[in-house]
């Protein structure tokens, strides 16, 4: 029992940490609770029940399935669900009519064929990357509704009435989700994407600062520079989350400083550049290994130019990141970039004069170069 | 209309390509079609309908939602759905009893509180990474079923009867999915993961082969070595897919050469090493840029050692990859690795003798080193 207790306490701690890391998660949970309770009690109370019958249950179902963490995801799922239900419902009624036209005997065969064909085609279309990214949920609902309508049509004679009821309850559920997610402490996927990309660039800048301190021992605060070196790791694998956020951001209306047609796809391009930079940093990071022997004399010679490159690239990246956050033109970054470019020239001059014995530091050059490219792109975006 | 036609033809082409790239996708679509048709017609035919009533619709719903591409994903969703329905159903009946004990007036308040608390807690738990990875779908179904049971319990008096009906129809639907996905042309997530990791290592090996040809112009076939250089890009972003496959693989029974308790998590470790290697290769790749001026004299001097390093690492990686595919001990890789290590020593000797002017090639050393680490790990796994 003691072991169990300590395990339980550990689990509790990690759950607490999840809430602390991002308090919006707690708010989101409460929002889902409110939406579900409202819709449930709506269904539970007599008046609505008399209006919609058992179909009211679909409003509850919709809320549970559709309510997501970000506004974009909720909107995307709601609209997908609504449109797919409408189209599939219409097609289902058509299919049912077609089947009855064939006479009672062949009805089952025709219905089976229709269901089979539609399910197979729709399932296959889910493999198309573009459809998978944006309409995956819609396709599932489409297959579902079509099957339910064609097959149950045989039982319930008032097919159109049923379809109408179901659609209106789904609209009630989806509307509740959309309103609550947009107006009560909204979590915008676009804002998240913006912050994520900006903070990723900042992490790269931090790394360069930490690297400078570690490698040339120029910083007094050992602990601080060590902590700066860790951040970039999360940039390496940021692709999946950036892409899903960008996909959701497209569904969102204008919010904060972003208009409806904000170029979200540009963020993915910056993300790609940031990752390329992070890959280079990953390589650079191996040279911090104390087991690699370095020639101190040589290190001293190139120290000045390299330190300048590091600190100027660092400042340029930080300027880009902060200008992204404030949505202004990164004019400060430009001068830092000029400085870092001139530092590269300086280093080249130094290298021409002396003969090299320890050359690991050249790996810094690509980092500076990438910073330059990154800068150019960012200017074009903001 | 012409523009539309060409667009349509393009879309058709890309859809065809998706089917050609992986014919299992077509088979999967047909499998879903069959499963859905069977369950639909089961529901459509009188005998089942009389037994289960309208609840039969839940079998159709289950098939649509649960049937996934890989066996592991289907099993995980089926079991999640089944267990969550069972637990939430029991809790729901309990909640309903509790609410009725409070008298008719306060019933709505008690029910609302229960739904709110459960929905909020369950939604928050979905943010816990471990639960998100394995039981996310189960949590959704749990909230859903609990709401449906507690709220609808007020209407339908035969609550237990209803819960029983629903559970058995879900079991029918889930069983149909599981049987078809396991016994008809199964797509094993574990097998896919195994192949993916092995082919990723092979891609790295191919890159080294191509790099050798490009950089030292040692290969006659320009086209071939260029094509070899592209493959590694997909390794960089393989993290998300590897993790989801490993998660699904855990749900799968033994198949092919894999037993039930196969160490799937080891594949993730190999994947991390392969990605680290790919990051280094990404850095290396920038040196293929023809704009970077190189000193031919120096290049000649180090050519021999570097070519050896490249080809031996390449052979070692290929040996690891093929021994993974055949599930044998990578004994051949060991000797290649010894050779590549001795090549590193040779290069160091050469570098000590001559003064360096063009030093980009040193970037190869980490690649060889990573190959060495990779090798050691792989031996320990297989």
Distance CA B189, CA B196 (A): 10
What is the greatest pairwise CA distance in chain B? 95
pLDDT given for residue B1 in this prediction:
67
pLDDT given for residue A322 in this prediction:
78
Contacts of B272 in chain A (CB under 8 A): none
Average pLDDT over residues A118-133: 88
Give residues 116 to 155 of A whose Cβ lies within 8 Å of B: 116-117, 119-121, 123-125, 127-128, 140, 143-144, 147-148, 150-152, 154-155
Contacts of B143 in chain A (CB under 8 A): 36, 64
Note whether B232 and B203 are within 8 A (CB).
yes
The percent of residues above 70 in pLDDT, for chain B, comes to: 72
Note whether B82 and B171 are within 8 A (CB).
yes
CB contact under 8 A, A40 and B147: yes
Nearest-by-Cβ selection for B60 from A37, A148, A286? A148
Note whether B70 and B245 are within 8 A (CB).
yes
The one-character DSSP state at A155 is T
CB contact under 8 A, A33 and B155: no
Give residues 95 to 114 of B whose Cβ lies within 8 Å of A: 108, 111-112
CB contact under 8 A, B112 and A40: yes
Q: Which two tokens stand for residue A123?
A: 């399932």
Residue A374 CA: distances (Å) to CA of A175, A379, B363: 41, 9, 23
Q: Residue B139 — very low, low, confident or very high, per pLDDT cuts 50/70/90?
A: very high
Average pLDDT over residues A168-173: 85
Contacts of A43 in chain B (CB under 8 A): 151
Residue of B nearest to A18 (CA): B128
Instruction: List the one residue out of A50, A123, A111 whose CA is nearest residue B32.
Output: A123
The percent of residues above 70 in pLDDT, for chain A, comes to: 72
How many residues make up chain B in this entry?
A: 382
Most confident region among A94-103, A294-303, A335-344, B315-324 by mean pLDDT: A94-103
pLDDT given for residue A151 in this prediction:
74
Asked if the ipTM is above 0.90, the reply is no
Range in A115-124, A169-178, B96-105 the model is least confident about: B96-105
Q: Residue A111 — very low, low, confident or very high, per pLDDT cuts 50/70/90?
A: confident
CB contact under 8 A, A112 and B40: yes
Q: What is the pTM of this model?
A: 0.82
pLDDT given for residue A302 in this prediction:
65
Q: Which two tokens stand for residue B193?
A: 């993961």
Contacts of A356 in chain B (CB under 8 A): 355-357, 359
Residue B351 pLDDT greater than 80, yes or no: no
Note whether A73 and A190 are within 8 A (CB).
no
pLDDT given for residue A129 in this prediction:
85
Average pLDDT over residues B119-125: 90
Average pLDDT over residues A81-88: 89
Residue B256 neighbours by CB distance under 10 Å: 11
Angular region, A21: left φ>0, alpha ψ -120 to 50, beta rest: alpha
Instruction: List the one residue out of A250, A272, A246, A275 whose CA is nearest residue A261.
Output: A250
Instruction: List the one residue out of A294, A368, A365, A309 whose CA is nearest residue B293.
Output: A365
Residue B358 pLDDT greater than 60, yes or no: no
Nearest-by-Cβ selection for A32 from B123, B148, B283? B123
Range in A44-53, B98-107, B141-150 the model is least confident about: A44-53
- A41 interfaces chain B, CB cutoff of 8 Å: yes
Higher pLDDT, A291 or B345: B345
Distance CA B171, CA B173 (A): 5
Residue B362 CA: distances (Å) to CA of A1, A298, B83: 57, 16, 57
At A258, phi and psi to the nearest 5? -105, 135
Grouping H, G, I as helix, E, B as strand and the rest as coil, residue B156 is: coil
- B184 interfaces chain A, CB cutoff of 8 Å: no
The one-character DSSP state at B217 is -
At B73, phi and psi to the nearest 5? -65, -40
Higher pLDDT, B356 or A31: A31
- A288 interfaces chain B, CB cutoff of 8 Å: no
A14-23 pLDDT, tens digit per residue, is 888 888 888 8
Residue A47 CA: distances (Å) to CA of A97, A164, A167: 33, 18, 18
A190-241 pLDDT, tens digit per residue, is 888 888 888 888 888 788 777 777 776 655 666 666 777 777 788 888 888 8
Range in B5-14, B186-195, B212-221 the model is least confident about: B212-221
Q: Which residues make beta-bridge pairs with A258? A: A255
Average pLDDT over residues B329-341: 68
Residue B49 pLDDT greater than 80, yes or no: no
Average pLDDT over residues B67-87: 90
Average pLDDT over residues B308-334: 73
Average pLDDT over residues B351-378: 50
CB contact under 8 A, B240 and A240: yes
Distance CA A280, CA A230 (A): 14
pLDDT given for residue B361 in this prediction:
47
Contacts of B154 in chain A (CB under 8 A): 44
Q: Which two tokens stand for residue A227?
A: 């902590």
CB contact under 8 A, B356 and A359: yes
Instruction: List the one residue out of B187, B182, B173, B188 whose CA is nearest residue B82.
Output: B173
Q: Write the CB contacts of A221 (distance below 8 Å, at least 6 apart in sequence).
A: A213
Distance CA A189, CA A354 (A): 52
Q: Which two tokens stand for residue B129?
A: 């990474």
Q: Please spell the DSSP secondary structure of A289-313, one letter per residue.
A: -TTS---HHHHHHHHHHHHHHHHHH
At A256, phi and psi to the nearest 5? 55, -130
Grouping H, G, I as helix, E, B as strand and the rest as coil, residue A11 is: helix
Q: Which two tokens stand for residue A154?
A: 């045989």
Question: Beta strands of chain B (E only): which ranges?
Answer: none
């Amino acid at each position: 029992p003691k072991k169990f207790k300590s395990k339980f306490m550990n689990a509790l701690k990690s759950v607490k940490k999840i809430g602390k890391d991002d308090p919006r998660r707690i708010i989101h949970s409460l929002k889902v609770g409110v939406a579900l309770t409202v819709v449930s009690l709506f269904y539970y109370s007599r008046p609505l029940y008399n209006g919609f019958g058992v179909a009211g249950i679909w409003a509850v179902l919709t809320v549970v399935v559709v309510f997501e963490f970000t506004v974009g995801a909720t909107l995307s799922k709601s609209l997908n669900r609504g449109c797919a239900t409408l189209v599939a419902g219409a097609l289902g009624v058509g299919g049912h009519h077609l089947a009855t036209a064939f006479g009672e005997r062949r009805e089952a065969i025709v219905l089976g064929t229709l269901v089979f064909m539609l399910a197979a085609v729709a399932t296959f279309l889910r493999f198309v990357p573009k459809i998978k990214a944006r309409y995956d949920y819609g396709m599932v609902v489409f297959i579902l509704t079509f099957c339910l309508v064609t097959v149950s049509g045989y039982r319930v004679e008032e097919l159109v009435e049923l379809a109408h009821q179901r659609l209106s309850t789904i609209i009630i559920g989806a509307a509740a989700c959309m309103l609550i997610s947009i107006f009560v402490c909204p979590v915008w996927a676009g804002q998240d994407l913006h912050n994520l990309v900006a903070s990723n660039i900042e992490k790269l800048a931090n790394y360069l600062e930490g690297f400078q301190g570690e490698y040339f021992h120029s910083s007094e605060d050992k602990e601080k520079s060590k902590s700066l070196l860790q951040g970039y790791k999360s940039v390496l694998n940021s692709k999946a989350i950036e892409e899903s956020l960008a996909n959701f951001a497209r569904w969102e209306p204008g919010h904060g400083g972003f208009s409806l047609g904000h170029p979200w796809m540009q963020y993915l391009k910056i993300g790609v550049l940031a990752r390329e930079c992070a890959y280079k940093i990953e390589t650079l990071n191996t040279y911090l290994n104390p087991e690699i022997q370095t020639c101190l004399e040589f290190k001293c010679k190139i120290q000045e130019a390299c330190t300048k490159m590091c600190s100027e690239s660092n400042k340029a990246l930080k300027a880009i990141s902060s200008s992204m956050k404030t949505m202004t033109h990164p004019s400060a970054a430009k001068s830092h970039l000029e400085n870092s470019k001139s530092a590269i020239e300086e280093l080249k001059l130094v290298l021409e004069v002396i003969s090299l014995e320890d050359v690991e530091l050249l790996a810094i050059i690509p980092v500076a170069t990438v910073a330059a490219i990154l800068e150019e792109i960012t200017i074009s975006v903001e």
